[in-house]
A and B are shown apart, each in its own frame.
Chain A
Amino acid sequence: MFTNAFHIRLPRRVTAHFLLFGLAAVVWLSAGAFYVARSVNYSRSESSCLRSLGRASARIAIDYLQHGDANLQALVSDVKTQSGAEYCAILADTGVYLAHSDTQLAGQPAVEHDGAAERWGASLRVQYLNAQGTLMDEYRAPLEAGGRPLGTLVLGVARPGLWGYVLGATQHAPLVIFGPACFMALGAVLLNRMVRPVADIEQQLSRVAMSASVDSCELSEVAALGAAALGWNRVITQFNSAGQSEQFVQQIHQSLAQGRQGRLDAVLNSIPDGVATTNSTGQLTYTNLPMAAILGMKDVVGATDGEYHADDAPSMTDLLTNEWQLANDDALFSVEHRDRPVVTELTGMEDGQRRVLRVARHPICIVGVAHRESHVWIIRDVTQQKMAEEMRDQFVDTATHELRTPLANIKAYAETLALADVIDVEQQKQFLNTINSEATRLARFVDDLLSVSSMEVGSLSLSKQVTDLHRMLNEVLAKVRPQVEEKRLAFEVNIPEKLPEPRIDKDKIAGVLVNLLGNAVKYTPSGGRVAFRVNAKDQILEMSVEDTGVGIAEAELERVFEKFFRSEDPRVQEQTGTGLGLALAQEVVRLHGGRITVESEIDKGSTFQVVLPCS
């Protein structure tokens, strides 16, 4: 009952129980009162009957002495009326009624009733059930007049039944029932008011009992009625202040976490390396800004309101496979390498330029987690480093070749001269010329290296002087003409008669032109054409070298002025060269405030143009 009544609020429950037990008490009290009243009434009725019987006996005896039996009938009727009895009679010793309130029974023999008899002195009471089923008390007392017995006075009284007593008690009901009921109602109201704070407390505790945690329930203070309510309010105040403190601490922790996250983002976005994390399926869960740029993504992954959400972020391997040459058997795809670091290099082409990425993938180690499902990726663009490495390797190859070949020739001819017994003078001269030529080649190479070194450190200096261009150009042409003739090339020279006399470093500019013309001759097949044109206009000196040689591929065109760069064209590779001439030429022209440009088409030829200011 109590369990099922939990959904009813406490004041109603308390009031209901109060009323229930109060009503039971009232009913029990009423029953007791009824029983007591019944006993008292019965006792009072008995005494009244015996008293009426005594007074009637005396009155009848007096009247009989005065008037004889003339008034007996009237007397019994009068006694019946006064005593409220059912009947009244005078029974003669012969068993015949001398008088009876029921006049028809006067003179009739009396009927003896069977029932319990009770005697008080000379008086007797017999209890019996009459023909109607009513319980009757018949009181009998002997009648005497002047010492002579007259008979027996009989008084029949009907004993009231249960309903009789009830009806008799009904007239006192307002006092007996409604009085206590009113007190109970008043008590219920007071009780309800008294337990209301407790009810509020009970209601809040019920919510706590049905909730997952105390924090999710809103606890409030109750009306300060009584010590319990005051105590509860104090507990709530302390709880709320503790909650506020905890909330404050949580806010601090949250702020610190956000601060750490923001700082971590700022740190990761400030480094040039791309950093990303992936989940167990390889899907990106975070990228910093450089990583988004490297992967060509629209936005970073992991931003609150970014382009990519957690569920639609692309896969890292998909991105790498789409943009870069990534073999299917690469360690990045291998399950065996899942739990260990993987470092690989990816190569791709971008606008005709080769790019190289160094990709490192490391499993993310979490304390207590054996299986490493997520990874952190670090990608660095190492294109420049790779090209520098390749250039260094190429330089080593070139230097080795350029140093070893003339040295071998020098050594061979020198040994021949030293060991041979008989060598004619002409042959000795030829050998010595070869040794001289190779030594000159070595010296030129060393000079180029030194110039490049000077260029690298920025110490390549110019010795400018007013220069007779005609003289300088003739010297240049004289140097290359033998080679032109050797290859039987058509050599077209166009130099205006009137040229300015600029302040330039004559030797270095001459070196530039010799290099350009030498290259034109070297890479133009026999029968081809080489043209050298000079034009001076508006204090600008333009010199161009045009050939019908092998030409330069478009992809290599931008690199021809790089140090140690040599074309991959086999027709170029078969010629000796250091890859330093054009780099030096460009630097020399640049130091003069001019510029050098190239236009070329593969298999059709090239045109190099040098533009120098004359002022």
Chain B
Amino acid sequence: MFEQKRQGAIDIIAGGDRISGDRVAELASMLDTCVKHGQPRVVLDLQGVALIDSAGLELLVNVQEQYQRMGGAIKLANPGSLCGEVLKVTGVAARFEVFGDSGSAVRSFLL
């Protein structure tokens, strides 16, 4: 189950154990709430996320494109070894800024 918290003007989503077809709707709904007004700036903390399947990758790519059209961004933090490998092999990692921890990801929005 994903949890959403806010640090400054940054939304941090964390807590899921996988981003797969059965969890995509929940995460998508949460990511949609970040797009109320203005530009969404989201850190997706992948600590504890053991698996990302194709539906999850598609969601991430679509959300990134949607956010970028609005001048916002979604950044990834704490990917595990398997998640990092999946992101790298599929080329999805090239579309995201990936950080070792969520604090670094949040601070990167200051740059």
Contact = CB atoms under 8 A, between A and B. Distances in A.
Q: A and B bound?
A: yes
Interface of A: 269-274, 289-294, 296, 323, 350-351, 353, 355, 381, 383-385, 387-388, 391, 455-456, 458, 558-559, 561-562, 590, 593, 595
Interface stretch (B24-32, B49-57, B65-73, B85-93): B65-73
Contacts of A590: 47
Contacts of A270: 68
A272 B39 contact: yes
A271 B71 CA distance: 6
Contact of A562 (B7, B38, B109): B7
A269 B66 CA distance: 12
A293 B10 contact: no
B103 A293 contact: no
A50 B75 CA distance: 139
19 contacts: A270-B68, A272-B72, A274-B71, A290-B72, A293-B38, A293-B70, A294-B38, A296-B37, A296-B38, A351-B36, A355-B38, A381-B9, A384-B8, A384-B41, A387-B8, A456-B103, A458-B104, A558-B6, A595-B3
Contacts of B15: 595
Given A350-B38, A593-B48, 17 more contacts: A289-B70, A289-B71, A290-B69, A293-B37, A293-B39, A293-B69, A293-B70, A351-B36, A381-B38, A381-B39, A384-B8, A384-B9, A387-B9, A388-B110, A458-B100, A558-B6, A562-B7
Nearest to B9: A383
Q: Which of A293, A323, A593 has the most CB of B within 10 A?
A: A293
Contacts of B104: 458
Contacts of A558: 5-6
* B interface: dominant SS: loop
Nearest to B109: A384
Contacts of B68: 270
A273 B68 CA distance: 11
B63 to A, nearest CB: 14
Contacts of A455: 103
A292 B69 CA distance: 10
Contacts of A273: 71
A291 B15 CA distance: 32
A567 B101 CA distance: 26
Shortest Cβ-Cβ A-B pairs, 7 listed: A290-B71, A293-B70, A383-B9, A272-B71, A387-B8, A384-B9, A458-B101
Nearest to B71: A290
Nearest to A355: B38
Contact of A290 (B3, B10, B70, B101): B70
Contacts of B48: 593
A43 to B, nearest CB: 114
B66 to A, nearest CB: 10
The interface size bin for chain B is 20 to 34
A595 B3 CA distance: 10
Contact of B71 (A294, A383, A388): A294
A562 B102 CA distance: 13
Contacts of A291: 71
A561 B69 CA distance: 31
B69 to A, nearest CB: 5
A124 to B, nearest CB: 129
Given A384-B109, A458-B101, A353 B9 contact: yes
A274 B68 CA distance: 12
A385 B110 contact: yes
Contacts of A293: 37-39, 69-72
Given A293-B39, A381-B38, A458-B104, A272 B73 contact: yes
A381 B40 CA distance: 10
Contacts of B72: 272, 290, 293
Contact of B37 (A269, A272, A350): A350
B12 to A, nearest CB: 10
A321 to B, nearest CB: 16
B98 to A, nearest CB: 14
Contacts of B37: 293, 296, 323, 350
A272 B6 CA distance: 20
Given A290-B71, A388-B110, A456-B103, A350 B36 contact: yes
A391 B110 CA distance: 13
B103 to A, nearest CB: 6
B42 to A, nearest CB: 12
A293 B72 CA distance: 9
Nearest to B40: A293
Contacts of B106: 384
Nearest to A296: B37
A425 B66 CA distance: 73
Nearest to B33: A351
Contacts of B109: 384
A290 B3 CA distance: 27
A271 B9 CA distance: 19
Contacts of B100: 458
Contacts of A593: 48
A383 B7 CA distance: 11
Nearest to B111: A385
A176 B18 CA distance: 117
A262 to B, nearest CB: 16
B9 A562 contact: no
A243 to B, nearest CB: 43
A526 to B, nearest CB: 33
A355 B9 CA distance: 8
Nearest to B6: A558
A388 B103 contact: no
